[in-house]
Chain A
Amino acid sequence: MTKSADVVIIGGGIIGCATAYHLAKQGITDVIVVEKDFLASGSTGRCGAGARQQWGLKMNVLLAKESVKAFENLNEELDTGLDIEFKQKGYLMLAYTEKMVEQYKKNVQLQQGLDVPVQLLTPQEAQEIVPHLNTEGLLAATYCPTDGHVNPFTTTNSYAQAARRMGVTIMTSTEVTGIQVKQGKIVAVDTTRGKIHTSRVLNAAGGYSREVGALAGVEIPTHPERHQILVTEPVAPIQDPMVISLQHGFYCQQSPHGSFIMGFGDPNEPKEHITTSTWNFMEEMAEKILPVLPALAELRVVRQWAGLYNMSPDAQPILGEAPSLEGFYSAIGFSGHGFMLGPVTGRLMAELISGQEPHIDIKPLSMERFEKGELLREPSVV
């Protein structure tokens, strides 16, 4: 059956569903979200689920700050009965070298200047916040109490339900097989469930953004990169904030449900579409985390999994319309922090697609920056 839509969104993760919601909220309800599996089945549902405002680039602080505000009110705003489980108990970022302390001091200055309530802490003050933290070798830490973490599944489904309520169509188990372009304009999207006539497409395909771009003849400079995570059995609450060490490359949170979720960045991970997990990840995770949080030795790992970061050349998102194809928008390349930026990205992309001036200037995040050599450098990534 042939359908038509004002906008076709490719990808049913947080970016696709939040953008669909914001488009509908602005009155653009003739929107179809096409998801090849189920909602949040890709990077969104596999992520570490943190939301932090402690970034070293002004753009990232601004985007993250607005997302955190959105998470604070999202249950009320979406009103679907689903709980996004926003645990707003902060992020504690550990610094082990003088160089890192200097960087964190700069970050704190930037963040405080943008009204983010972050503080630089001594190791002892950090331990007051996380009593089971081993402070050996620790020089300082930064702490922002309004950071936190969120449930990616319920958040994505809640956006989707709210969008549906306003008239958006969401097609799951449906794969996009082609994007038809005639005379430099998009005319239709082909799917495994038929053709959709449209002139505007949003590429929100995360780990598959490059492949979706190729369907429209748009070259996308992103690549997938596997990252792994594990989760433990649930225990009584003992850790309020997400703990991050860029030195060890790990992050670790205790979810409201009681389980600990942790992962680390491994430069040797394959840069392909591989989402199987490996046994040595668990061992390396234990090696990295136990010297810092020794009490976790008693916790049983119950499950591990893997997902894809969608890496851009400067590890910053790519937001905007493709210079080479009118009506082809992208919200991709989040490089591991797409879930936390979902709410603000949804709003920005809806503004852009509906022809408004985005309320935050996102021109620096356009795809053209790579050709111009205007790369953005974020110093604080895992």
Chain B
Amino acid sequence: MADKDTIICRCEDLTREDVRQYIQAGYTTVEEIKRVSRCGMGPCQGRTCHQLLVREIAELTGKSPAEIAPAKARPPVKGIKLGTLHSEGEHND
């Protein structure tokens, strides 16, 4: 399948071609690519794309995937409605 048809980040609609362009432009860490492209910033928080992105970086930089630092995990683990967090929210009785 062509790189432009292969989706890496489903939440932010980034293809393999997009991601490879960022890596070739010099953004060679997960944290940097996340910030310039939003890869992994969607509702799934990178659960799907993170491993794929690591593999792309490894391949283009000649490193092993184990050498690529993962993105910092940020809370919450799962999306949570602001209304639920509110003391008058529906799930806080």
Contact = CB atoms under 8 A, between A and B. Distances in A.
Given A301-B82, A305-B74, 14 more contacts: A39-B32, A277-B74, A282-B80, A282-B85, A285-B85, A286-B85, A297-B82, A298-B81, A298-B82, A301-B76, A301-B79, A302-B76, A302-B79, A303-B76
B76 A299 contact: no
Interface of B: 29, 31-32, 35-36, 38, 41-43, 45, 74-76, 79-83, 85-87, 89
Interface of A: 38-41, 45, 82, 153-154, 157, 231-234, 257, 277, 279, 282-283, 285-287, 289-290, 296-305
Contacts of B31: 38, 41
Contact of B75 (A257, A279, A296): A279
Nearest to A299: B82
B82 A302 contact: no
Chain A interface helix/strand/loop/mixed? mixed
12 contacts: A38-B31, A233-B79, A277-B75, A282-B76, A287-B86, A300-B79, A302-B43, A302-B45, A303-B45, A303-B74, A303-B75, A304-B76
A363 to B, nearest CB: 36
Contact of A297 (B29, B76, B89): B89
Contacts of B35: 40, 45, 153
B24 to A, nearest CB: 13
A232 B41 contact: no
Given A154-B36, A304-B74, A290 B79 contact: no
Given A154-B36, A257-B38, A303-B45, A286 B74 contact: no
A39 B31 CA distance: 10
Nearest to A296: B82
Contact of A304 (B38, B75, B86, B89): B75
Contacts of A279: 75
A296 B29 CA distance: 33
Contacts of A234: 42
Contact of B81 (A154, A283, A300): A300
